[in-house]
Structure 1
Amino acid sequence: MSAAARAPRKELPAWVLWRDRGGKLSPLRIAILAILFAPALWLLWDAIQLNLGPEPLNAAMHETGRWSIRFLIASLAVTPFGRILAWPRLYQIRRMVGLGALAWVLLHLVLYLADQNWIVTTAIVEIVKRFYLTIGFVAIAGLAVLGWTSTDGWMRRLGRRWKRLHRLIFPILVLAMLHAFIQAKSDVSQEVFLTGLLLWLLLWRLVPERWQAHFGALAALTAVSFLATVGIEYLWYALGTNLPAARVAMANFDLTFGPRPAVQPSIVAGCFLLLTLLRRLAGRLRAA
């Protein structure tokens, strides 16, 4: 064996996001980077075009918060997507998507400080005084810790404890969703949709590993997550608003005016079911 082959592989700097672990240019990672940056360009264009309403800073703050949750949920979707497609290389982007979500949530915090005229003491008082801001800040702090310890060096340093630490992403996301629900008040369409996706991803992790890519198990999981999402939507409207919660819940079973937010995650989950069928069909064709 040559000296070059025996030499340990030099790790790439953390900021070289467009190359894989072997140092090669990665089209997949470049595409993910573009997706992570695209909403910022969209938001900037809306700001230039004065499409953010009478309070553009406040609107931008809420939108960055939503994108942080979207990308966090996307980071959780990498594992089931990679397993269903039998595409282990997809796992390499999980950290990148998670760090992208952290960047968005930090931008959300910066815009909140800007909305408070950069008076840090005022922002702190508001965070302590208002429950939804308190849990939102706890979620940001927890996500910052996970981002800081996401490097290979921290993985080696913490050993088995690293995985236990990073399982905190699940309660962090629950806090973030509760923060979003309280902030949204009566119109929680986006929040219900994201909650449905999160429920599916959480329940998928409870399914035994040998069934996680099985069509029947995924179909049952989709039905259970749909009913759970409807139940959460009902409880929110029943406990937090004066709107007729039962009528809102029953509307999810009527597609006359299109799928409601609680139904839409099931449509997304249907894509996983379709991928499972296509994978099974491809396997049979190869065997034939």
Structure 2
Amino acid sequence: MSGARPRATPPLWRRMPWFDRGGRFSALKTLCLLILLAPGLWLAWESFAGVLGARPLTALIHESGRWAVRFLLASLAVTPARVVLNWPRATLLRRMIGVAAAAYTLAHLVLYSADQNFRWFAIGAEIVARFYLAVGFLSLLGLSALAATSTDAMLARLGRNWKRLHRGVHVFTAFALLHFLLSLKANITEPVLMAGFFVWLEAWRLLAARHQGQVAALLALTLLAALATAAIEAGWYGFATHLDWHRVLAANWMPRYGLRPAVVVALVGLGVIIASRLRRLGGDGRRPRRFAPA
């Protein structure tokens, strides 16, 4: 028999988000927690300060939804960061970021309900009648289920089914992005940009493991994501607003229109490649270690 003793479970107060799994203070997790809390605290301050304009509740609804989508994509970026940037400790942040995304999504619904004076029947009827509200609500339900089952206890209880359930985050993120896109009437720059990042993240997962850190594969992936972003933007304006989609597509290559989402996606993709090479030049080139869920 082995003489190794089972690792003792840290007391409750040492299982707070700013401690690691061994109950030790983690500067990385603390910094991540502060970043996740910052948008909510800032919005709360703006609300109390009265600087959100004539319709502060509407502004809060929009901003909470935006941060929910941003954090959802950040949670999907954890695995690529671990592999591409050779940063295994990134895995320690995935659970915290995912729960924060679900919390901002729930706040988004609560604020919308407050704007409707908590008339639950009318709210339910609106969700059923409006497609963009329905897909947003489905995303909320899914993300809430993932947040509720993100604990170690639920991981042990569900076993293999836990991983199957949590793969649904990709579908729920797609629903959230569709809700984001459909909820805007004119300027769709940010949802298109987020959609471009989502294409990159999902396409990266389709690469064979041996190609996921290779420069050639990442360059092809960046080009694919940039072209997909341009197509999404042009297609949206062409079908939803009946603008000439050829002109929208051509605007991506005209500097006078500023940085279009497709260009930003391409620049970020190139930045990831450069960061990857710098990390590997500065490290030992070994494959990243696996970390247990944070």
TM-score range, shorter chain: over 0.9
Segment of structure 1 superposing worse, 67-76 or 156-165: 156-165
Query: Is 1:86 aligned to residue 86 of structure 2?
Result: yes
Separation in structure 2 between the aligned mates of residue 109 and residue 49 of structure 1, nearest angstrom: 23
Separation in structure 2 between the aligned mates of residue 204 and residue 285 of structure 1, nearest angstrom: 20
Among all aligned residue pairs of Structure 1 and Structure 2, give the percentage whose two residues are the same amino acid: 45
Alignment of 1:112-191 (within 5 A): 112-191=112-191
Structure 2 gap segments, 5+ residues each: 287-294
Q: 2:5 — aligned with what?
A: 6
Separation in structure 1 between the aligned mates of residue 86 and residue 131 of structure 2, nearest angstrom: 43
Segment of structure 1 superposing worse, 240-249 or 10-19: 10-19
Name the TM-score, length of structure 2 as normaliser. Answer: 0.91
The answer to whether the 8 Å contact 1:214/1:276 transfers is no
The answer to whether the 8 Å contact 2:218/2:273 transfers is yes
- Code of the residue aligned with 2:167 in structure 1: it is R
Q: Flag the 1:86–1:12 CA change in 2: closer, same or farther, 3 A.
A: farther
Higher relative contact order (CA 8 A, sep 6+): 2
CA RMSD, 1 decimal = 2.2
Separation in structure 1 between the aligned mates of residue 281 and residue 166 of structure 2, nearest angstrom: 36
What is the CA-CA distance between 1:284 and the residue it aligns to? 7.9
The answer to whether the 8 Å contact 2:69/2:173 transfers is yes
Alignment of 1:1-288 (within 5 A): 6-10=5-9, 13=12, 16-283=16-283
Q: Flag the 1:2–1:156 CA change in 2: closer, same or farther, 3 A.
A: closer
Segment of structure 1 superposing worse, 188-197 or 146-155: 146-155
The answer to whether the 8 Å contact 2:20/2:26 transfers is yes
- Code of the residue aligned with 1:174 in structure 2: it is A
The answer to whether the 8 Å contact 1:19/1:29 transfers is yes
Q: Flag the 1:145–1:284 CA change in 2: closer, same or farther, 3 A.
A: closer
What is the CA-CA distance between 1:2 and the residue it aligns to? 11
Separation in structure 1 between the aligned mates of residue 35 and residue 285 of structure 2, nearest angstrom: 33
Q: Flag the 1:283–1:95 CA change in 2: closer, same or farther, 3 A.
A: closer
- Code of the residue aligned with 2:155 in structure 1: it is M
Separation in structure 2 between the aligned mates of residue 170 and residue 195 of structure 1, nearest angstrom: 12
What is the CA-CA distance between 1:157 and the residue it aligns to? 1.9
Q: Flag the 1:257–1:185 CA change in 2: closer, same or farther, 3 A.
A: closer
Structure 1 gap segments, 5+ residues each: none
Question: Aligned to 2:261, what secondary structure does the other structure show?
Answer: coil
Name the TM-score, length of structure 1 as normaliser. Answer: 0.92
